[in-house]
Structure 1
Amino acid sequence: MSLPGRFLTVIRGWSLPLSISSVTLGTTAAATTQRGSAWLYLLVVFGVCLFHACANTFNDYFDLKYGVDTPEAPTAIYRAHGVFAGLIAPKALFYLSIILLTIALLIGAALAILRTAYLWPLIILGLFLNLFYTALPGHALKYTALGEPAVFLAFGPVIMEGSFAVQTGYLSWNVFLLSLPVGILVALVLFANNLRDREFDSCKKIKTLATLLGPRAGMKTFIALAYLPYMITGAYVGMKILDWPGLFVLFSLPTTVRTVRSFSQNIPVAADAMASETALSFNFFLLISLIINILIKI
């Protein structure tokens, strides 16, 4: 495997489009109020992707350290685990995490100093969610059924408000509202992963939302979370928070229905990948709706 391929495998490069889509939505929301900067957008994408990659590598490192990740774990069977695949040593994985985090924080600090101080609380919250997602043995967010709320906050309000603020210099209540369905669907990706791993996590004495709910309630919750963003978006259009192009998200509904049907029959091995497809499809059509709204107002 080439060096770039090894790097992308170790940082779970397949998951980065979720970050990119959140940044893109926040930036496009800013473009509805004023002309934005493509260079600032690319810088935010780079910084957020590094932060996301760091969260992934820290997660793998601490799961390995605490004995959660083993070669027999469902996640390790589904995807290549950097350490188990022989791509990186555990110590090197930790140092890589520190490097990724340091560069991401430097980019964030530069943007906060040069663009807007509103970024500081978002950076601090993002850092907290990143470090405490798996870093505390027995008390980390991931192990105490708080993983989904953490992912919701990170990929919804934190990234989208931060991306908007970099372009405009201020925060927006409407962007916060817009980030809610986006955050829910990214949290659904983790929930899908935890539904698949429920029995394994129970054996490891790990508390997740899926282990607490059990199989039947867990599936009902999955279905509710999958469709909730559509109801929220419809309500936004009805309340004039979003203009009528917001209904374009309905074009992603077939993907969501297909995912829900698949999970209802049998939770797939590639559970998080299927849920990611659902989230990215929704985000794509939400982006289209924002772009159409911009064109209408020109």
Structure 2
Amino acid sequence: MTRTALVTGSAGFIGYHLCQRLLDDGWHVIGLDAMIDYYEVSLKERRHAMLLQNAGFTAVTARIETPSILHDLMETHRPEAVVHLAAQAGVRYSIDNPESYVEANLIGTFRLLEAMRAFPPAHSLLASTSSAYGANTEMPYAETMRADHQMSFYAATKKANEAMAHSYAHLYDLPTTMFRFFTVYGPWGRPDMALFKFTKAILEDRPIDVYNHGEMSRDFTYVTDLVDGIVRLIAAVPGDDPVEGDSLSPVAPFRVVNIGNSNSVRLLDFIEAIEAATGRKAEKNFMDMQPGDVPATWADASLLQHLTQYTPRTDVRDGVAAFVAWYRAYYDV
């Protein structure tokens, strides 16, 4: 019997890769995306067009905060798994347009929780972010650490999503996993992210803006590594049996799981990887830290390993090279 998954944000960077993997694994996938113009819609349309080449994919264009849309999809398709990726993304944009984060991230997630309360899936997996760790300076970040001091409104809405989902898991016995992903990169990435912007600028012989004067590091996670982690977590339904280092709630079938590469890479080393892949040197414009940003992220991914026997492992130079090859082909550079 074919399994059905509902994936919100299916035309997004991560959503596209996840849907493709689920389709390859034989799932029927309902993909919901609003196609908002936060970045070039043509990129999203191309991703959906590729997914639609598989008869197992059904595309729905709508905002998740629209009343009844998620309720109707859950009632019609009764998905076994729900993976919630749809959100207004971006730390910096949340300073300029916070209301869009309320609508998509808070109201939209509420609509999904209500739909799942009415038609419960076997497992729901909701995207959170490493930004939830906020002002924490102890690293690597572990899921059992307190995460109370978010540094941006984007991070605050995702931490709120965790609390909202926990309450529904407790009240309505909805098995739920929140996965906190770290800086994700790879082919078909978002144009607002550093790798895309750096690659574009370097190939166009323009300078790149390097914040905090380069004194930053990130746990860069290759997109297919993230997707592997998500797919494996679908079968790791929270129950009554905690594993080592578990974040399992004492009152609900709910846990938080990091999906990261367990390796913090200096921003300047990341830029060097782009230079190697493009064959060009970057002209760097060193700048102060941007509001809402954090100097470093680093995942402890041991819980993911205990739950799934999997740890992301793509080397950053290999991942960057794959992105640059995609970028050159896609934009004919």
**TM-score normalised according to structure 2 size:** 0.29
Bigger RCO of structures 1 and 2 (CA < 8 A, at least 6 apart) = 1
Specify which structure has the higher proportion of strand.
2
Specify which structure has the higher proportion of helix.
1
